[in-house]
Homo-oligomer: A and B are copies of this chain.
Amino acid sequence: MTHPLLLNASSLPDIPWQDRPAGCSDVVWRYDANPIIPRNATPTSNSVFNSAVVPFGDGYAGDRYAGVFRCDDRARRMDIHAGFSADGVHWRINPRTIDFVCADPEVGKLEYRYDPRVCWIEDRYYVSWCNGYHGPTIGLAYTHDFVTFHQLENAFLPYNRNGVLFPRRIDGRYAMLSRPSDRGHTPFGDMYYSESPDLCFWGRHRFVMAPTGGWQSTKVGPGPTPIETSEGWLLFYHGVLTSCNGFVYSFGAALLDLDRPWKVIYRTEPYLLSPQLLYECVGDVPNVAFPCAALCDGDTGRLAIYYGCADTVTGLAFAKVDEVIAFTKANSLV
């Protein structure tokens, strides 16, 4: 009994969920016990945010979910950690950073790692993240068990952030969205699409979308793994507005053509969620709501969206896939 809008979706009846609060008409609403992961979730963590979660049925000890988490430590070094959860809300994060297996020390050498995404493709979990290699670029690895991670070649030349894989090959090739950047707090950011026959060599780069205005006037970048629907790939994406006091990160949604995902069919003019509550507005970087993962129940279309809050803690928000799609079509820029 798959949801009529969802394609290739698994039944995930137990993902975190709360019904929309009474009196609320928002398409995306927050978990009432946010943040779900505090800044000191590991003994040395300064903050845990911008992290990725996937179903992981074969976890031991009842675990149903696994994830890769950005934990900045108290030296403010940025690295990623594995974590596990029975319910997707309460998490045990490994206090040790992921130690990647990598054939070439030139590639595997750690500078910094942050903002991971996790994506199941065919037979394994792939992790992509912002990887320091003489500047930020897109690191790639795979794991079967969230214990051993095999690091691949960096996908692109620097400078790039937010590499997000599609959950299946498109036209026979792996596919990735990303947001090329510069080396600092980049004041621009378009989203692009790239393909690879083998996850090693990448090409056929296509422009996807640019900033427009309002909450998405400075940069736009992909968030969670795109969700395949009959209306197109449903992509949650972040947008940035530059106020006189700095960047504000919100997020919206887009529908991308299933076969040519660089074609944007619909794209929300309003944001779906912007930083408004104290844990989103106050922290190491004020005014940030930054989604990196979404769980989707294939039966009901329920969505549980994980998003970083103020670059400090991790929050959870909920939505229904049909409502998000309807809202995106009804409030589209394109």
Residues on A facing B (Cβ under 8 Å): 25, 39, 43-44, 46, 73-77, 106, 133-135, 137, 153-160, 178, 180, 182-183, 185-186, 188, 190, 192, 194-198, 200-207, 210, 213-215, 217, 241-248, 269-271, 274, 276, 278, 281-287, 311, 331
Contact = CB atoms under 8 A, between A and B. Distances in A.
A90 to B, nearest CB: 18
Nearest to A246: B245
A208 to B, nearest CB: 9
B207 A178 contact: no
Contact of A201 (B190, B203, B244): B203
Copies in the assembly, this chain:
6
Interface majority SS on A: helix, strand, loop or mixed?
loop
A13 B76 CA distance: 35
Given A39-B276, A248-B284, A201 B192 contact: no
A77 B213 contact: yes
B158 A156 contact: no
Contact of A282 (B106, B202, B210, B278): B278
A50 to B, nearest CB: 13
A160, A242, A247, A284 interface centre (most CB from chain B within 10 Å)? A284
